[in-house]
Amino acid sequence: MNIDFSEASLKRLITHHIGNKQREENISLTQDEIQVSDDTKEHLLSYFLVPMKKDEVYSFTHAVDIKQNDIYTLVEEIFSNEEVFVEHSHNIGKLLYEATTHPKVNEGELNVVLMSNVVVGDEMVSAIGIYKSENNVPFIKMDRVVDGFNVNHDFGFEMKGVDKGCLIFDVEEGDGYRCLVIDKKSIDAHYWVDDFLKIKPIGNEFYMTNNFLSMTKEFVTEQLPEEYEMNKTDKIDLLNKSVGYFKEKDSFDNNEFMSEVFVDEEIIDSFKNFKSSYNAEFEIESKDSFSISAQAVKKQARVFKSVLKLDKNFHVYIHGDKSLIEKGTESDGRKFYKIYYSEEN
């Protein structure tokens, strides 16, 4: 889905303070919209939009009826009638406060924003942003005066982006809208997406690629060692082959992947069973073929570890043919790896 923020403008803004309900912190709701200068609007747009990752798209959901998703209903009414913006921003704040029950969730400022001129596909639409800023940091102020400078400090939020956010586009209303999400993962990760917003990823190529690689990593590192005797180089080899397949191909084929990566029929059967259980447990939509997302591969490649750690003395990075590394034990009990190579770079 093509998304373009270059013409986006900020129409309405209101800020509330949301404490942690479990810690009996307060909720403070502002009664009027905030008026800001045009220059500040530009900085705010950067603050709200730059961190948004456009590859992973979400929609609102509900087990029975989408109309019973409270945030969806409030957003729908704001899109239909901007005059309810302030009133419904209060309702959004109250819902967030009710969802803020994990002891590790920080208090912070909730910004509800109405934007215009956002391009989604070939449409120019409105968007509603719901953002929470939690990490208030100090910064130095140097103010010029007649005979020099006054230097002091203040507190604020870093321009690199908000801690949690959701940007909802006024498209696909009947299918839960389309949303982008910011969620800087921590121990409280599920409360923003699952408890407060109640959204789920759309089954696009990013979603398919990301989920399949996550599942494969868990199969290789957790399931296979329980069924077969495997050393660390065997696991690293399978992880390298898995992510290598996705790096080399434009499209995914399940049968081709299994035959090229796992080869052995018993391992392939084990993978099929694991895949079926994994998808059922996490309610994941699965397809046997799909276009591969390069962004999802890049994201997953960071966590596909190809490092063999030997005590505290050596880290060996294995990127290819595992037949070039041999494991053995000396007569005195010391363990060793023998590595073959053609040239030293």
Dist. CA 338–CA 69, nearest whole Å: 59
The CA–CA distances, whole Å, from 282 to 86, 204, 288 equal 37, 17, 17
Taking only the tens place, the pLDDT of each residue in 85-112 is: 999 999 999 999 999 988 888 899 999 9
pTM of structure: 0.75
pLDDT of residue 337: 67
Strand partners, 306: none
Taking only the tens place, the pLDDT of each residue in 256-305 is: 999 999 998 999 999 999 999 998 888 888 889 999 999 889 888 877 76
Phi, psi of 141 (to 5 degrees): -115, 130
Residue at 150: amino acid letter: N
**How big is the chain by its Cα radius of gyration, in Å?**
25
Residue ranges in 249-319 assigned as alpha helix (H): 254-261, 265-282, 294-301
Taking only the tens place, the pLDDT of each residue in 139-155 is: 687 888 888 878 887 76
pLDDT higher than 60, residue 308: no
pLDDT higher than 90, residue 2: no
pLDDT of residue 142: 84
| 194 Cβ contact list (under 8 Å, min separation 6) | none
